[in-house]
Amino acid sequence: MTAPNAFAHRYGFARSDVTLENWRTAPYNRWAFQNVGELVPSAEIAAPAEIPEEPAGDLSSLLAETVDVGNGSETVAAFLHRSDADTFLAMKGGKVVGEYNAPHMTPGGRHIIFSISKSLTAILAGSLQADGLLDPTAPVTQYIPEAAGSAFADATVQHVLDMTTTIDFEELYLDPESAFARYRRATLWNPNTNGPDSEKLLAFIVSIAKGAGEHGEVFRYRSPNSDLLGAIVERAAGQRYTEAMAERLWKPLGARRGGRITVDGEGTARAAGGISVAARDLARVGEMMRCGGVFEGRRILPESWVRDTATGGDRKAWEKGDFAFLMPNGSYRNKWYQTGFEGKPFCGIGIHGQWLYVDPANEVVLVRMSSQPLPVDDDMDKQNLAFFHTVAKRL
């Protein structure tokens, strides 16, 4: 345990200052994003063994390089500092080139990855599909009968995977009176203001009404899709989310540290955003995807599923959707973003500046974990994409 004065010296505030009400706000997020399990109930994702990592390479030469960040140029080190990066890790050809950690970041520590959790949940769906346990063309109600009568009653699993459902729900991160705030309370991420018995996550999801239009037509970024996918994964696998993750991804990857995922009052996993992992283990996920589903000779996913995820996607649905301004030539498939850049890099993205960027053409995987003050910062997202695109070509 860190002594109180040492804690305050490292983070600039006392541990007692961090609460369930403020944990996602600056400056408290610098500590909270590494220690979510102290604030929100969490379940462990077991690793094969807690094995120390090899020392990282020297990143100093890259940190000193000047790179394009979209609206100008600056050194890698200056950009990482300005953009509130906690960790930045670069891999080339399957080898860790080097790792940067901010002064307040514990090297090798776990950090919440927010919506990159969606991309990992989709990997579980792909694994179950390969084993014949999950049919993406099946109706959601085949796995979640409780969804009958909800927005998802006539949706397929693939609609959920691609976030092309139409639901009466808006992703309003900063509105305390919105349905999104009710959703956050159901996940136990926000204080419960409605008495001792909080609404449970799955009950909230299946209470959502259908929005305008038909499923499958427009990409709409709505996180309840991904928590629903987590429940579908559990039903299809016949095991807890954490068990499926350990068995189907973490152990085959040879992950060095166990992960964590936040859970609600019933133990339902926050599959849309609750996973915390170490940067190198997240890089292993990226490397497996870069190599078409294989990691260190072990096949984890079918090559066809990875190819579809990295290059498929409905361009028309994307062009009508929420994020076309960010990646004009992009698309979205199985909860991974296709950038539309030269060489077809693809990525997982999480709020507050979490990125897993995979560039097969340059044999590069980049991990960024951050404590950006705003959950969504469109200008910073554009800068990050320009930064990754430049760095990947330099390595």
Which residues have a catalytic role annotated?
115
Q: Which token pair is 238?
A: 């016949």
Distance between CA atoms of residues 358 and 138, nearest Å: 30
**Shortest CA distance to 113 belongs to which of 371, 361, 318?**
371
Q: How big is the CA angle at 374 (ends 370 and 379), to the nearest 5 degrees?
A: 90
Beta-carbon-side half-sphere exposure of residue 125 (alpha carbons within 13 Å)? 31
**Residue 248, amino acid:** R
**Residue 249, amino acid:** L
Handedness of CA 36, 39, 40, 43 (dihedral sign): positive
For 115-154, give the secondary structure using H, E and C. CHHHHHHHHHHHHHHHCCCCCCCCEHHHCCHHHCCCCCCC
Residue 356 burial (C-beta neighbours within 10 Å; 0-12, 13-18, 19+): buried
Quick check: 246 and 138 in contact, CB under 8 A? Answer: no
The H or E element that residue 62 is part of is helix 60-64
**Shortest CA distance to 245 belongs to which of 259, 256, 257?**
259
Q: Is 18 helix (H, G, I), strand (E, B) or coil?
A: coil
Q: How big is the CA angle at 285 (ends 267 and 310), to the nearest 5 degrees?
A: 105
Q: What is the DSSP string of 190-220?
A: S---S-SSPPPHHHHHTTPPB-SS-TTSS--
* Strands 259-262 vs 336-338: parallel, antiparallel or unpaired: unpaired
